[in-house]
Structure formats: structure tokens, C-alpha cells
Chains A and B, each alone.
Chain A
Amino acid sequence: MESFDYLFFIEVLTGGLLSGVMYSLVAIGFVLIYKTSGVLNFAQGALLLFAALTFVSLVERGMPFYLALVLTFAIMVLLGIGIERAVLRPLVNKPPITLFMATLGLSYVVEGTAQLLWGTQVHALELGIEDVPFEFYGVFISQFDLFASAVAALMVIGLTLFFRYTRIGLTFRAVADDQFAALAVGLRLPRIWATVWATSGLVALVAGLLWGARSGVQFSLSLVVLKALPVLVLGGFDSIAGAIIGGLLIGASEKLAEVYIGEYFGGGIEGWFAYAIALVFLLIRPSGLFGQKLVERV
């Protein structure tokens, strides 16, 4: 019996956890919108792609880094507001599954527009961080992954503080809790939703840049949404903490499974393993780890 290679295990685990952080980043964008409007925005991945493509194309045309960043953010905010007004507001009283299908259509529109505008080639995205692994007690960790995690952590802290302690954050939570009550108290829902979508656009921008730097900016970027769904299922659709923990869990178990049990399946199980875990979990706890239990009132 060969001795268990602990170092390798920790390396895989760490890599998985860091990868999971990236998933969480995407999932948080979903949670924001779901928390405040009950919509599961399938187009989040497309928005990620749009943000990354816009930024990279601006930079390639000679625009300085920070200007491109600001401009892209502005575009994302406008896009978010436009989506809220054109797609979501007309559907405001429809059942959630209708809204979900609308976001499905929306993802097609955004993906198509992004690539129509900026082309379909792959772009490289440079953020200035070298992807050089450094050693930490014998374990190799990717420098880039660490940077991404730091950014994600900052973002999460920022958002949490925002929700807890600012006025707008409070109104977000009020709207998430009970839309009619929020209306009754005089909160202006359209403005709030526009702000939510703008914030979500910002999250999409950050996530898009990080993902784009990691794996290149191309169409498949929008498919990260498919990785975020199991994370949301595990962590609950309306919990930021859940998105983080869910992301870490999925990232870690995915990598570990690929390495340690992948061989029995002939490899490549990373594609569906996350879903398998999510499914098993759902059957035990149909509303996820942190999600709110849906009580049906008749």
C-alpha cells in the first residue's frame, strides 16, 4: 500500500477551493437578483461574457486600462437598467418560471449581441498578475487564484457591509422580504430593481474579468452560469453566505472527485459531478444548505 500523498491532496484541495471561489463570485451575482426580485437570472453568464468582451475590446483598441474599466462598468449599468425595464418589468406578475425562461431568451440576446459587436475570436485578458505558482510549505498554489480569491473576498465583505449598514442595502432586504410591504412603506421598487441590476452588473464585470484572465475571453465564458447553478442549489438561491460555502464545496469536491475517482469513470467527470452532488443534496434538503424553506400556504 503506497502511503497517501497528503501534500498532493492538499494541493488538489486548495486548487479546488480557489476554483470554488471563482464559482461563488458568479453565484453571488445570481443571489443579488434573486434576493430582491425572485428572478433566477440565467443571463448572468451572458452578462459576464458581455462585460469581459467589452473591456478586452476597448483595451485592444488602445484605451487605457482604468478608463476601459470605468466605461465598461457604465455600459453594464446601462445594460442592467435596460434589461430591468424592457424584460422584467413587463413580466412582473408572472410566475417565477416564466421569468426564468425570459432570462433564458435574454442570455441568447446578450450573447449574440456581444459577439456581433466585438467578434467571435478568443481574446487574452491581461490583469497584470502573473500566473506563476508559488510554494507554500510544499504545496503549489497559483498566484492568480489567490488574487482572485482576495478580490472575491473583498467583494463579499463589501456587499455584506452594504446590505447590512447602508440605507440602500436595507431597502434591498426589505424588498426581498416582502414586495408589497415595501411598496406600502413608500419604497420605489423600479429604482431599487435598477440599482440591483446595476450592482449585479458590477459583480458580473469583476467575475468576467477574473474568469477571462484565467481562461481567455470567449463564448464558453457564458457557460460559467452552468457551474453556478449547482452552487446555488447547494447554498440556496437567496443567501450570499450560501453562495460562498456552496462554491467552495462544489469546487473542492469537483477537483477531488476528478483526481481520485475520475479514473474509474474514464475521466472527464468534472462536467457533471457538480450536478450529481447538488442533486443528492437536494433530495435530502430540497431548499439547499442555507436557503429559505418554502412553506406553501393554501
Chain B
Amino acid sequence: MSYLELTRMAGAEAILAIAVVVVLFFDLYVVRDQTPGTRRGFAAALSVIGCAAGLMFVKLMGGEGEIPGGMLVLDDLTRIAKMSVLGIAAFAILLSADNDFTPHVGEYYALMLTSTIGMALMVSSENLLMMFVALELASLSLYILVGFNKHCAKSSEAALKYFLFGGMSAAFMLFGLSLLYGLSGSLELDGIAKSLQHQGADPLTLAAMVMVLIGFGFKVAVVPFHLWAPDAYEGAPTSSAALVATGSKVAAFFLMTKFVMTAFPASLGSGGWRAFEAGWAPAVAALAALSMIIGNLGALAQTSVKRLLAYSAIANAGYAMMGLLGNSGQGMASVMFFAVTYAAATLGAFGVVSAVERNRGGDKLADFAGLQKDSPWLSFFMMIFLLSLAGIPPLAGFFGKFYLFAAAVNGGEDLSLMWLVVVAVAMSSVSLYYYLQPLKQIYVVDRPAGAGEFKGGFALWVGLVGLAAAVVAFGCAPDLLVDCLTRGGVEAH
């Protein structure tokens, strides 16, 4: 493999790495004496340009291919995943452009970019070592980002929790991965699959599987590995929380799906109603069901919108896990579609929350009261994002859920997974209640007296418009995304 090819394949990551350096230097040397606002503007702009450039590179130049050993793999689906990650990162940066909680502007954006590099590497690796390195790169950057607000004790607490949980789950993951290597003698997913084919569901394989699932489960915050999420989301600065909630999720889901579907086909098992067979399917089904139930029920009692979004994230992770059970190209496509659209909606919601935090001083439900009078467009966007999360057509979240359900049921034999769909729709209907709470405050409740005028920066508006357009577009014309996802599919071996 020539260096040219290597560059072509790792181009996006390389561009991002350059962007990190550029941002740091620019902030350190060029705009050091400017106002924080200007510094932020420049840093954000440079970061966004970096992400956009990476995205363009992947779209236009990234070819097919594989670095030997599966370190870096690029095919149609991987490219889309990478583009999504980069896009999400770009929007997250846009939405964070107004936040003034820290004077360390350059470092902040640099860390966002490094996290993005980690995520981009995650989606294109099929080698156990590379996977772990990428995962850790992304996670470590995110730990720091979560604790970035030094003036707020909650932020540090959140970062500590996140770090401790993350560290422990990384340990599990590593242990599981090493078990897999020991069992199969290969570091590549394909190799592992071949070796494990004959082994079926023996205890050691199952143990390895469980540990790997624990590692991934933490990353996507499914029950029972979700305890860090509410505190982390609430305590972290909103823009960090946004990236945690969206980018890392998309990448993690993609990786998990690819991993599980590629490496463990022999230990599939079945999670069907009265058709239980040991394997990863029943485990995933159980995780999904628990997440949906606990995530949705937990959100009902929340008064802080960020915490509400955290529980919503847990619940949505549960829905997405259902797609894994599809165990087919459709399953993968449905997980990705859902993850991307979920990310867009959540990112937008966080963007609105950050705007409200800045103007009204908090993120409690009461702070949203009467928002439609102050800023009708902000309210409208919030409605789009929350309704998409609730699964109201014609927004993207609805189609995502439907796609997941269809893929899951199709994957099970003879409609045996219908029980999971029933749990999902039941919990989904519960969710409408808490998604309507902020909307109720915004549209129904009257504006409190003395609320000041609403200020929102240009970057915020660009970001929100883009995300809202994406949510609506993917909802009304899902084929835009589904087509790409199903063209390059991951088939179970």
C-alpha cells in the first residue's frame, strides 16, 4: 500500500489533525489579545472549515479499500458513517460558538476536533487494536470536554463520573477483546468470525461477547450502563454534552453493529417470544427493552431539560439496539438512519437549550415559558426536534423508529420479536408526555414578566436551520438517506 493510498484513505483524519494544530496555534499566537467572542469566532470557524473539508474529502476522494490488518476500512457504508460523524461534529461546533463559559477557547475546539478524529477512526476500523485506540481517543477527549467548565462544580463532578465509568467499561472492553484474540488468534473481525464459526455458544465466547457488549453499552448509554448519562449531560457545558450525546453515539452504534453482526454470527441465538436461544440476540433484546422502559419512565419526572434529553438518549439507545436484532443489511441501515436522525434532532435540541440557558439563565422547564413570543423561530425549531424525537411523522424520528421495528421483526423468525416492538411502542407513547412538556411551556404557558429580549448568534441560526432542514428532509423523503445506507450494506456472514 502506497502512501498515496494511505493518504486517500485516512485523508479526513489527517485534515482534522492539521485543523487541531492550526486552531491551537491560531488561538495562541494570532488572536490571543482579542475579545473572547472574536477568538471563539475564529476558532469555531476554523474547526468547522476543518470538519467540512474532511467531509468533502471523504465524499469526493475517499475510495474503497482496506489497509492490511483491517486497521482502516473504507466502503460505501463506512464513508457515509464517517460523513455523518464529521457533519455532526461540524454542527456541534457551530452550535457552541456562542458559549462563553471558558477562556481556553483554542483548547476547547481542539479537543472537539480530536474527539472527532477518534470517532472517525472508530467507524472505519475493523481491527481490535485500532478500534480500542480510536475509542479511547474519542472518549478521553470527551471526558475533558465534559469537565471544561471550571467555574461549575457540577461540571467536574460530571466529568469524574463519566471518566470513572468510562475507564471501567474500557477495561471490560479490553478484556473482552483480548479474550476474543485468544479464542480466535486474529485481530481482525473477519478472522474472528471465521474462527468462531465452529464454536457456537460456548462459555468463553459468551463471556467475551458480554464484555464487549458492556464496553459498547456504556458508550451508547443503554441500561444498565446508563447511570453516568443524566449527571454527565446535566453537568457538562451544553456544547460538550451535545457532542457526547450525538457524535460518540453515532460512531459507537456503527461500530457496535458492525462488530456484533460481523464477528458473532454463529452465536446469534434468538430473543424471540417463547423461542429463547442463548446468544447475543437475547442479550441485546433484553438491553433494548430495559433501556426503553427505564429511559422513558425516568424522563417523566425530570424538570431539567438537559437531564430529560439524557434519559431520552437512554431510551433512544434502546430503540436503536432493536435494529441490531435485524441482523441484516436492513438492520444496519435502520440503526444508522435512526442514529443519524436522532443525532440531528438531539443536537438541535441542545442548541436551543444552550440559547435558552444563555438568555434565561437555566435549562429548567420553567425557563422555557412563553418562548414563542420571544423567538418564534427558535420555538419552531425546538418543536421540530422534540417531535422528531417523539416519533411524530413526517419527521425523521418516526421513520427511523418504523424502520427499526420493521428490521427487528423481520430479523426474528415468524414475528417472534413482536413483543419487543410492543414494548417499544408502549414506551414510545409514554415518551410523548415528556417531549410535550417543554413544548407546552414554550407555546401554552404565558411569558413571565420581565423576561428580556432574546439574543442568538449567526452560527447558532445556521446550525439550527441546517439541522431542522435535515430532520424534516429525512422525514419527508427518507430515501435520501436510506438509499445510500442500503446500497453499501453489511451482510451477516
A and B are partners in one complex rather than unrelated chains? no
Which A residues fall within an 8 A CB radius of B?
none
